[in-house]
A and B are shown apart, each in its own frame.
Chain A
Amino acid sequence: MIMNSGIPLEFYLVLATVMFFTGIYGFLTRRNLITMLMSVELILNSVNINFMAFNRFLFPGKLEGHFFSLFVIAVAAAEAAVAIAIIINIYRRFTTINVEDVNQMKY
């Protein structure tokens, strides 16, 4: 426990949980695609915080947590790029980014 000073682990976990459920809530309730995308980013980042916190508190000196976080950030960046491209196309096609109005392929 070399650098175990200041903020305890629980604080990080509480922060991550709040962020996670904020993201879930936003993803389920918002109909705007951009907002939904932002919610997904929140969820991913809460996971990153968890990774970093556990890495630091449970396995200090190891790098797996860092790697995973970097990995998630990279994937999230790619995902955001693709998602925004899709959203732009949907907007051009339907002039809306409300998910409920984009229902041509339903049933």
Chain B
Amino acid sequence: MTDFGYTTWILIIPFVTFLILSLFGMKLKGLPAGLTGTVALGLVTFLSYFTAITYFTGGGISGGSFQKIVAANAVWLNLSDHLHIDMGVLLDPISVMMLVVISTVSFMVHIYSLGYMKGEKGFERYYAFLSLFTFSMMGLVVATNIFQMYIFWELVGVSSYLLIGFYYDRPSAVAASKKAFIVTRFADMGFLVGILLLSFTTKTFDFVTLTDINGPAIASKGGAVFLGMSLMTWSMIFIFMGGAGKSAMFPLHIWLPDAMEGPTPVSALIHAATMVVAGVFLVARMFPVYYFAAPEALQIIAWVGAVSSLFAAIIALTQTDIKRVLAYSTISQIGYMIFSLGVSGYGGHDGLGFMASNWHLFNHAMFKALLFLGAGSVIHAVHSNDMKDMGGLRRYMPVTNITFLIACLTIAGVPPLSGFFSKDEILTAALHHNKILFAIEYAVAGLTAFYMFRLYFSVFHGVDRHYHHTPHESPATMTVPLVILAAGSVFAGFLPFSSLVTSDGVPFESHIEWGVAIPSVAIGLLGIGLAWVMYRKETTLPDRMTSLFRHSYKWAYNKFYIDEVYIFITKKVIFRHISHPVAWFDRHIVDGTMNGIAYVTQSVSSMIKGLQSGQLQKYGYVFISGVIALVIAFIYLVK
């Protein structure tokens, strides 16, 4: 086995960069700060690729399968002899793959931001936050135990909060950052409860022990039964709640579309490619536990993923804000990945869903980052987020146009682009598992193709709008990352993923299932064709369709009123019937007792302070009365 001790630098470098940029960023001023961050991230990217190549070409193989390697470990918090929280680096196929994904996208975003964020107020702050985020995300994926993961999980939440609220002078951005933080925090509460239950049943935090299929955790079969499910199942459901919050799964998805208030490269990095797939990563990391000890939880995961992907795809059809369409598309695609894990088996070809999910995660990171960065390029050119303000941009922005088209084709699953391969594997896994779920995901594939090309055609084709100035292609710092990511989305499909990332670490052969592939490509092309007819030229067709499906359109346009439901539940139910009485009790009973004591003391003292008048004559009067009383008492009473 190779020594992977150097992988700790993958964590140290971004953290040190964060410290430098946040402490001395003001002195570096602008471009030098950005370059510092970018160069540091270049180093991290190099290290990550080096790790990946070493790991996959032999460094991680032992006995024909990929091993979990603990490259570094240190006891961080010693709770008792048996229970301690460690900090370390754990390398296995999924974490190594995530290192590549995160470093690639983060590096591209760093370069891209040099152009996109040029001249913005707080440029160095932005790069400091990006470094913090990269550090946290890297720490999350290489965590050796679930508690370390939880710590970094919260850290990515914080950096996401900071970056969404980057434009802190805009009330909408501030509201969005708070919303994201509160919703994910709420979900993380479930995660924490899950961790506590899990460590209670298994007596360990360690991933290697937890996911060992012959280990004590899985063998224990989950401890006591509560409401028809074992404690283990409950803990895994709670852990998934944390994952669903971070990955914006229905019904905890409401924060993600609002998170688009942040700068667009941030949306590409955090809210499309890396942080939001943390939930997928979490389920993948705990997969053996889910499969062997909590199959009911896995069933829930499959349904949540499927429902989210369908639901988000329908909303994406109606949105007109370019970034929101992409946000819903992200929810939909992450739904795919989560769903794919839910229908997966364990070991060999049964673990197809697991492999497909990670593959899709990898491809999605490339093409969705590309879509967001392309959208950023468009926004940079026309200074608007609204698709109604865009049209005919292909003449002005050739590079953006081509790369965006590639990304759209990839997400629509057109062969031989990467999306085709992973989506085919997902659908194959679904077909073997459950026909209803397969039907849902099949429909979503068509919807995806349609809404993406609706977006593409109405932005890059159609008629010109009134622009403030003629749109121009973005600078090279922005277009080069686009081209690199486009190359990634084209070629990622040819990676031999099934011999790299598998559920049990043993490589297997996977083939394209033509019986699934041909219909799924067909429905994708159908979606593209429909979009071509409806949106390529300005026609009245979309409006006619809208009025035809008036009611359902209105529902979808308003995101199925989920936000309103939340507001209703919080404001009308929780605030009114729980918080208000509690607040009343606090204000009147708890505070009232304290205030009452203070009031009594005060009034008594103001009553008796008159005695302390400072008037000698009153004192004399009292004194002499006392003397007389005593004299009388001694003379007549004491004999």
Interface residues of A (CB under 8 A from B): 24, 27-29, 31, 36, 99-100, 103, 105-107
**Hey, which chain B residues are within 8 Å of A99, CB to CB?**
615-617
Distance between B382 CB and nearest chain A CB, rounded to angstroms: 73
Q: B614 near A27 (CB under 8 angstroms)?
A: no
Q: A24 near B614 (CB under 8 angstroms)?
A: no
Q: B614 near A28 (CB under 8 angstroms)?
A: no
Instruction: Report the Cα distance A100→B616, complex, angstroms.
Output: 10
Q: A28 near B617 (CB under 8 angstroms)?
A: yes
Is B621 positioned at the interface, with any CB of A under 8 Å from its CB? Answer: yes
Q: B613 near A106 (CB under 8 angstroms)?
A: yes
Instruction: Report the Cα distance A107→B612, complex, angstroms.
Output: 7
Instruction: Report the Cα distance A100→B612, complex, angstroms.
Output: 14
**Hey, which chain A residues are within 8 Å of B617, CB to CB?**
27-29, 31, 36, 99
Partner of A100, one of B609, B615, B621, B624: B615
Distance between B447 CB and nearest chain A CB, rounded to angstroms: 80
Select from chain B the residue with minimum beta-carbon distance to A27. B620
**Hey, which chain A residues are within 8 Å of B620, CB to CB?**
24, 27-28
Instruction: Report the Cα distance A28→B614, complex, angstroms.
Output: 14
Mostly, the A contact residues are helix
A-B contact pairs, 22 of them (CB 8 A): A24-B620, A24-B624, A27-B617, A27-B620, A28-B617, A28-B620, A28-B621, A28-B624, A29-B617, A31-B617, A36-B617, A99-B615, A99-B616, A99-B617, A100-B615, A103-B614, A105-B614, A106-B613, A106-B614, A107-B609, A107-B612, A107-B614
Instruction: Report the Cα distance A43→B220, complex, angstroms.
Output: 99
Instruction: Report the Cα distance A36→B615, complex, angstroms.
Output: 13
**Hey, which chain B residues are within 8 Å of A31, CB to CB?**
617
Distance between B405 CB and nearest chain A CB, rounded to angstroms: 85
**Hey, which chain A residues are within 8 Å of B612, CB to CB?**
107
Instruction: Report the Cα distance A38→B617, complex, angstroms.
Output: 14
Distance between B609 CB and nearest chain A CB, rounded to angstroms: 6
Interface 1/0 per residue, B601-627 and A, CB below 8 Å: 000000001001111110011001000
**Hey, which chain B residues are within 8 Å of A107, CB to CB?**
609, 612, 614
Instruction: Report the Cα distance A26→B620, complex, angstroms.
Output: 11
With A31-B617, A99-B616, A105-B614 given, name 5 new contacts (CB 8 A): A28-B624, A36-B617, A99-B615, A99-B617, A106-B613
Instruction: Report the Cα distance A28→B613, complex, angstroms.
Output: 14
Instruction: Report the Cα distance A100→B613, complex, angstroms.
Output: 10
Instruction: Report the Cα distance A107→B616, complex, angstroms.
Output: 14
Distance between A77 CB and nearest chain B CB, rounded to angstroms: 21
Instruction: Report the Cα distance A27→B624, complex, angstroms.
Output: 11
B402-447 at interface with A (beta carbon < 8 Å): none
**Hey, which chain A residues are within 8 Å of B615, CB to CB?**
99-100
Distance between A106 CB and nearest chain B CB, rounded to angstroms: 4
Instruction: Report the Cα distance A31→B613, complex, angstroms.
Output: 15
Q: Which of B613, B617, B621, B624 has the most CB of A within 10 A?
A: B617
Distance between B367 CB and nearest chain A CB, rounded to angstroms: 79
Distance between A35 CB and nearest chain B CB, rounded to angstroms: 11
Instruction: Report the Cα distance A99→B624, complex, angstroms.
Output: 19
Instruction: Report the Cα distance A24→B621, complex, angstroms.
Output: 9
**Hey, which chain B residues are within 8 Å of A36, CB to CB?**
617
Distance between B635 CB and nearest chain A CB, rounded to angstroms: 15
- Pairs of residues from A and B, 8 with the lowest C-beta to C-beta distance, nearest first: A106-B614, A28-B621, A28-B617, A28-B620, A24-B624, A27-B620, A107-B609, A105-B614
Instruction: Report the Cα distance A24→B624, complex, angstroms.
Output: 8
Instruction: Report the Cα distance A102→B446, complex, angstroms.
Output: 95
Select from chain B the residue with minimum beta-carbon distance to A29. B617
Select from chain A the residue with minimum beta-carbon distance to B621. A28
Instruction: Report the Cα distance A76→B352, complex, angstroms.
Output: 114
Distance between A21 CB and nearest chain B CB, rounded to angstroms: 10
Instruction: Report the Cα distance A80→B314, complex, angstroms.
Output: 103
Instruction: Report the Cα distance A29→B618, complex, angstroms.
Output: 9
Instruction: Report the Cα distance A105→B612, complex, angstroms.
Output: 12
Distance between B604 CB and nearest chain A CB, rounded to angstroms: 15
Distance between A57 CB and nearest chain B CB, rounded to angstroms: 22
**Hey, which chain A residues are within 8 Å of B613, CB to CB?**
106
Q: Which of A28, A100, A106 has the most CB of B within 10 A?
A: A28
Distance between A92 CB and nearest chain B CB, rounded to angstroms: 21
**Hey, which chain B residues are within 8 Å of A103, CB to CB?**
614
Instruction: Report the Cα distance A98→B621, complex, angstroms.
Output: 18
**Hey, which chain A residues are within 8 Å of B609, CB to CB?**
107
**Hey, which chain B residues are within 8 Å of A28, CB to CB?**
617, 620-621, 624
Distance between A94 CB and nearest chain B CB, rounded to angstroms: 15
Instruction: Report the Cα distance A106→B619, complex, angstroms.
Output: 14
Select from chain B the residue with minimum beta-carbon distance to A31. B617
Distance between B631 CB and nearest chain A CB, rounded to angstroms: 13
Distance between B608 CB and nearest chain A CB, rounded to angstroms: 12
**Hey, which chain A residues are within 8 Å of B614, CB to CB?**
103, 105-107
Distance between B639 CB and nearest chain A CB, rounded to angstroms: 24
B236-257 at interface with A (beta carbon < 8 Å): none
Distance between B427 CB and nearest chain A CB, rounded to angstroms: 87
Distance between A103 CB and nearest chain B CB, rounded to angstroms: 7
Select from chain B the residue with minimum beta-carbon distance to A100. B615
B552-584 at interface with A (beta carbon < 8 Å): none
